[in-house]
Structure 1
Amino acid sequence: MGLQEEIDKMRQEIRSDHYSMSIGEWISLYENNEIDIHPEFQRIFRWTSSQKTSLIESILLGIPIPPIFVSQRDDGVWDVVDGLQRLSTIYEFVGKLKDEDQKLLDPLVLEKTKYLSNLEGKKWEDPDDPINSLTSAQRLLIKRAKIGATILLKESDEIAKYELFQRLNNGGSIATAQEVRNCILVMYNKEMFHWLKKLSENENFQECIALSDRQNDEQYDMELLVRFLVFRTLEENEIKKIGNDLSIFLTDKILEIAKNQEFNYSEEETAFNKTFEILYDQLGNESFRRYSHTKNRFLGGFLVSAYEVIALGIGYNYKNLSNSEINIKEKVKQVWVNPEYKQWSSSGGSGTSAKRRIPNLVPLGRKIFQP
């Protein structure tokens, strides 16, 4: 297939429409539950109070606002693909925004800006504080302002929505690939996302990985869980298909799992829980730290290459390890002098590319922890 044929094929799979809509109409969609902004995303998107104020200032000054990208679901409801921060800010300002538990959040109070210093302390409408409320004319100015809508129609190829979401959000206000992945999972299979979230909160798992606050804030614990689910029993020939971008591979594979109605949630949950029960009992927060044979102790912080060998090796063999007399701690110590591990892990770090590292380390772990 030539380039033009590839272009023509993909263009046929993406169907979109475009509207110009007033902010008043965007507010009505939210009030009538005709748009889903996914409150699960609200902690991920990190707009500051000044960024929110800037948006309201832009609307008041007539500065064009970029269009909102939405995807039309089978029930006709629009899923927000890009523009959550903009819409959430508007809904928060007018006092309509709800959290995951459907509780109303406190309305946004504006700050002063470079051009509108008198915005400081202003609210949408507060009968008890009319001095600090926008006037009726100012509220109408906002409600009549236009923000375009680009709608990915339901007859489009379903994966186009997730491709669009990734392209629009990578490198933006979302910090990490896993945060984008979380959002895609919420849009595609909300139940699976909540299952993953609950699994990631397993105390043994959290103790064993012992991540920094920053890593936890950026959802790295969820990424490690996704790696566990994707690679635990994946055939070696499939692991070799990682390509140059591990992030895309993980997203594609976890979406395959999310779509798979035969996926055994119970079995995978048991494998995960048993793996980290074994590790917690024998190593705790030293599970994925480098072991120094000369100093006879574990050093440093979490290493992903160790996780790929140890967690996935135990996860693959967990049924035969649960009641085994094998000393897991001693096996883990031997990982650090294993020549294959040293070759493919850049001495235990993550310097070797995932494309080269993972297809070698995952099978190695399966072999090392085989009873």
Structure 2
Amino acid sequence: MADHGLKFEIESKTVAEFRSLDKSGDLVLQPDYQRKVVWPERAKVSLMETILLGYPIPEIYLAYETSPDGEQKASVVDGQQRLTSLLGFINNKFPLNGLEDDELKEKFEGLYFKELPDEIRQEFFQYRFPIRRLSNLADKFVRAVFARVNRVNMVLTDQEIRNALLPGPFNEFLKDCAEHPINKVSGVFSGARRDRGGDLEFYAEIFGTCIFGLSNKKAGLDERYDKISEDFEDYQDRATEFLALLTFLTENIKWAGRTRWSNIVDMFTLVHVSWGLRNEFSNLDSQRKEQIRDLLDLFQRAVSARKRKGENGESVSLSSMLGMVTEEVDKTIEGYMSGIRNSSDLGSRRVRSQSLRLLIARKLEG
């Protein structure tokens, strides 16, 4: 067994003690490796019900750090959802809606914490949480414990584990991508996907694809992630180019409502193809940019029309714009659509990119 000098002391803390830690600012609920708060209200109420019934709750991991001046902070390594819910309830952020225990439901259904009887609130504050205390550990060990505990419990996504184990410039770059205006105008990521790190994983994968080439979704993702994270200085210039490309797409796509580019699969293809043409894009004047804008809009509408098996005037318009035979454009669109099935497969990704690139390149040459 490896010996890193880790100390895991077992103790307990009352709800009142957690409230005091939080009020004093000495409780760090969301270290940078933690995920966002994702529990729905029914899960929060279920936890409050468990406390009211006096039933046990799984232990919480706290990492304590003491400064040379004797100042002490406790960071939540495991149990963030529970403690955030707990503090939200005692601060009257949500009521007890949906209680399952008949006796509690009859007495407290719909009540906020401040509306509970004094003796119930006093008893609630005295409830004890089991604590696993980690004292003055190096940051890398705290992150390793976080990843290990959550991997064993199967509560974290792969990206949430990467966030914990691989902080640094690459992770910060991915956050910049996830916060870029293109995500808002496209509506490409749902709130749930963002909360679980799906936007960061998307940008890690597409950036790796732009650097190393197409692959199956999961093949080599961790290896590429590790390599870029370890040597990010070598990729800094391309990271800057990548953010500039996202800005170009934000400004040169028709984003009215949801489009094909609002789908993960199509956005992946758009970014990958545009990366290969970024030098050409950077030299376009305003008129040529407008032509590319119209082309991409016609293309995504032609794909959607073909998918609905409806009239496809967009295909005819594309043919006219590009000086191509309509049958050739139809064949290219069909090829793109065939790549939407099994969308993460290497062959599918390749045919989508080839189809879209063919049409854009044709316009750039014209």
Corresponding position of 1:312: 272
Q: CA deviation at 1:29?
A: 3.6
Alpha carbons 2:37, 2:81 under 8 Å: kept: no
Alignment of 1:162 with 2:162, yes or no, is no
**2: CA distance, partners of 1:305 / 1:79:** 37
Distance 1:151 1:318, change over 3 A: farther
Q: Match of 2:339, SS? A: coil
Distance 1:254 1:355, change over 3 A: same
Greater helix percent: which structure?
A: 2
Alignment of 1:272 with 2:240, yes or no, is no
**Match among 45, 57, 72 for residue 38 of structure 2:** 45
- What are the residue-to-residue correspondences of 1:1-371 with 2, within 5 Å? 15=6, 17-23=8-14, 24-38=16-30, 44-48=37-41, 50-70=42-62, 77-95=73-91, 106-111=92-97, 113=99, 114=101, 115-116=103-104, 117-120=106-109, 122-125=111-114, 132-135=115-118, 137-151=119-133, 153-154=137-138, 156=141, 158-168=143-153, 170=155, 177=157, 181=159, 185=163, 189=167, 196-197=174-175, 199-204=177-182, 206-207=184-185, 209-211=186-188, 215-219=190-194, 221-233=199-211, 235-236=212-213, 240=215, 245=218, 250=221, 253-254=224-225, 257=228, 262=233, 268-278=239-249, 280-281=251-252, 284=255, 289=260, 302-324=262-284, 328=292, 337=331, 342=335, 347-354=338-345, 357=348, 360=350
- Which region of structure 1 is more displaced relative to structure 2, 269-278 or 190-199? 190-199
**1: CA distance, partners of 2:262 / 2:356:** 20
Structure (1 or 2) with the larger CA radius of gyration: 2
Q: Deviations over 1:193-234 (max 9, x none)?
A: 676555445444544x454xx83543255544333333221x
Q: Match of 1:87, SS? A: helix
- Which region of structure 1 is more displaced relative to structure 2, 143-152 or 251-260? 251-260
Q: CA deviation at 1:189?
A: 4.4
Q: CA deviation at 1:263?
A: 6.5
Letter in 1 for 2:141: S
**2: CA distance, partners of 1:133 / 1:12:** 48
Alpha carbons 2:143, 2:165 under 8 Å: kept: no
What is the RMSD of the two structures over their aligned residues, measured on CA atoms? 4.8
TM-score (norm 1): 0.61
Q: CA deviation at 1:168?
A: 3.6
**2: CA distance, partners of 1:253 / 1:79:** 30
Q: Match of 1:69, SS? A: strand
Alpha carbons 1:18, 1:148 under 8 Å: kept: no
TM-score (norm 2): 0.62
Letter in 2 for 1:63: Y
**2: CA distance, partners of 1:224 / 1:93:** 34
Q: CA deviation at 1:318?
A: 1.4
Q: CA deviation at 1:66?
A: 1.1
**1: CA distance, partners of 2:87 / 2:191:** 28
Q: Deviations over 1:271-302 (max 9, x none)?
A: 3333452575265569973xxxxxxxxxxx74
Alpha carbons 2:52, 2:124 under 8 Å: kept: yes
**1: CA distance, partners of 2:22 / 2:168:** 19
Q: CA deviation at 1:30?
A: 2.9
Unmatched segments (≥5 aa) in structure 2: 300-317, 319-327
**2: CA distance, partners of 1:287 / 1:316:** 25
Q: CA deviation at 1:351?
A: 1.5
Alpha carbons 2:147, 2:161 under 8 Å: kept: no
Distance 1:315 1:285, change over 3 A: farther
Q: CA deviation at 1:88?
A: 1.0
Corresponding position of 1:296: none
Over the matched positions of the two proteins, sequence identity in percent amounts to: 15
Distance 1:39 1:72, change over 3 A: closer
